[in-house]
Amino acid sequence: MLGVPMLTVEGLTVALPPGGDRAHAVEEVSFRLDPGEILCIVGESGSGKSVSASAIMGLLPRALKPVAGRIGFEGKDLLLEGPAAMRALRGARLGMIFQEPMTALNPLMRVGDQVAEVMQVHGRAVGNRVAELLDAVHLPDPTRILASYPHRLSGGQRQRVMIAMALALEPAVLIADEPTTALDVTTQMQILRLIREVQQRRGMGVLFITHDFGVVAEVADRVAVMQRGRIVEQGAAAQVLRAPTHPYTQALVAAVPHGRHAGRAVVAGEPVLALEGVGKTYGGRGLFRRTAPVQAVADAAFVIRRGETLGLVGESGSGKSTLARCVVGLVQADAGTIRFHGDDLRPLSRRAWLPYRKRVQMVFQDPFASLNPRRRVGDIIAEGPMAHGVSRAEARARVAELLRVVQLDPGAADRFPHEFSGGQRQRVGIARALAMEPELLVADEPVSALDVSVQAEILALLEDLRARLGLTMLFITHDLRVAAQVCDRVAVMQRGRIVEQGTVAEVFERPQHAYTRALLDSVPGREWAGSSVSPDVLA
């Protein structure tokens, strides 16, 4: 859209405090935002995309100082405006939506009062606006919701309230910093549609910050790609997504889980793991307290055959992680059987589990939390076998070999976890599991905390290990694209129950259950992923 841009950022450079890994958080960043368009800024963690947004809002942390450039908005340079002038602009002319809806609302204030407050601090009459706004963001029963406290609302509903607050004074520009990252896919899709809808209805300019190319494909008119503080490519969404010119953009687009199945032969080995009627209910009795029981997993049943990868897919709270923890004995299931090569693992005591510990291993979700920060990587990898009677010398000797298997330098053994990046830590976590030479590997969201390019590397590593070591895998993920890529069969979980299972082709092409269909419809950028490559399971 031509015309006068609403917001122009020219040569913005923000200095990092000395001693960081680079001199500037963002360097020479220039872009413009036209009325009625959505500009997506895409980048991996640390690329400076959030710093750019904070600079526009005048919300930079005190340690970060803008040193050059100009942010033009309604004839003013926002970098030169004082705090009072910025306060008057924020909320009124510049709206912002944050990433974490769970913490962005004051838990002690009624929702309606919080929305009204936005108008009151800018001296506007509130009147009936709050209910109108809540209605505009499609919250059901606005009169009930404005009288309730935030804890009564779900994550998606809270994000809608945040959007209502941002829209309250009809700002010219809305800045959305990863507004859907903390949400489940089905909720994410609803919020994306809502943002698109209000933007079109009011002709706002939206600056949308995200790390997910699927989301970009879903909402963006134009895209700016950031790498290490610089914009490396900028252009119309269709062009950047389908024909990226910069090598970094090309690598990022290629790393997006494509949802295409590798097309492996169907495995028909003997069952390694067979679950039947597994259930787990939390809560209940202590000596001095009593809580309402919550059924986390109910009547779960599946079979994994040798060499096969079963994906366990579901949204947060669906019970997929609890089920995985039941399989490795971190959580004791209270119903059903968990047969590993025919032996029921469920009733086993801590001691009786020991012989199976070598054969069933787990890779955890968060590479920053899953390694003890005070132990060296070599010790972390060696301690598993040592706990099972392998001598210290022998265990240490294998560490170098394992590090090579996960493509890390053998010198890594003498360093501490904080010296590594997220992807490298996840490799250490995999090496720790492999040190036990397991038959069954349970991977609980092993890539969900990683940037997209690192995610692709770890998935490739897991695939390579699976083929070389003949691993059987239970792969837990919330990302259908990832599941389609790495799994042979998938089981879809909803509210503690497996609602559908089958081969990837069956489930993704001919979903039987309504929930599976809803999940598939919510995969962001589905059409883009589908049309940019040959027809595939997600098409």
Partner 1 sequence: MRAFWRNRGAAIGAILLAFVFTLAASAPLLFPGSPWDMAGAPFSPPGEDGFLLGSDSLGRDVAAGIAHGAFVSLLVGAVSTVAALGIGVAIGAVAGTFGGWVDDAAMRFTELFQTVPGFVLAVVLVAIFTPSLGSIVFAIAIVSWPPVARVVRAEFLSLRSREFVQAAEVLGRSRFSIVLRDILPNALGPIVVLASLMVAGAILLEAALSFLGLGDPNRMSWGFMIGQGRSVIRLAWWMSVFPGLALFLTVLALNLVGEGLTDALNPRVARRR
In the complex, which residues of this chain contact partner 1 (CB under 8 A)?
A: 286-288, 325, 328-330, 350, 353-354, 357-358, 360-362, 364-366, 369-375, 383-384, 387-388, 429, 432, 436
Nearer to partner 1, 206 or 371 (CB): 371
SS3 23: coil
Structure tokens at 430: 């995999």
Report yes or no: 137 and 160 within 8 Å, Cβ to Cβ.
yes
Which residue number, 352 or 467, has a Cβ lying nearer to partner 1? 352
Comparison of 25 and 94: residue with beta carbon closer to partner 1 = 25
Return the number of the residue (133 or 435) whose C-beta is nearest partner 1. Answer: 435
- Minimum gap (Å) between residue 290 Cβ and partner 1: 13
Q: CB-wise, 223 or 380, nearer to partner 1?
A: 380
**Tokens 């202590």 map to which residue?**
286
Token pair recorded at residue 207: 């600056």
CB of 384 to partner 1, least distance (A): 4
Considering the complex, what minimum distance in angstroms separates the CB of residue 419 from partner 1? Answer: 16
User: In the β-sheet with 38-42, what is the strand arrangement from edge to edge?
Assistant: 94-97, 173-177, 205-210, 38-42, 222-227, 230-236
Minimal distance, residue 363 CB to partner 1, in Å: 9
- Nearer of residues 75 and 286 to partner 1, judged by Cβ: 286
Query: For residues 99 and 83, what is the distance between their CA atoms, to the nearest angstrom?
Result: 24
Query: Minimal CA–CA distance to 378: which of 396, 364, 363, 393?
Result: 396
One-letter amino acid for residue 395 of the chain = A
The CB density around residue 424, as the number of other CB atoms within 10 Å, is 20
Report the nearest approach of partner 1 to the CB of residue 349 (Å): 13
* Pairwise CA distance, residues 538 & 214, whole Å: 13
CA distance 11 to 71: 9
Q: In b/e form, how buried is each residue of 181-198, taking b as 16+ CB within 10 angstroms?
A: ebbbbebbbbbbebbeeb
The whole-angstrom separation of Cα 442 and Cα 22 is: 38
Q: Which is closer to partner 1, CB of 388 or CB of 510?
A: 388
Other Cβ atoms closer than 10 A to 446:
31
Give the shortest CB-374-to-partner 1 separation in angstroms: 5
Report in angstroms how near the CB of residue 307 gets to partner 1 at its nearest: 22
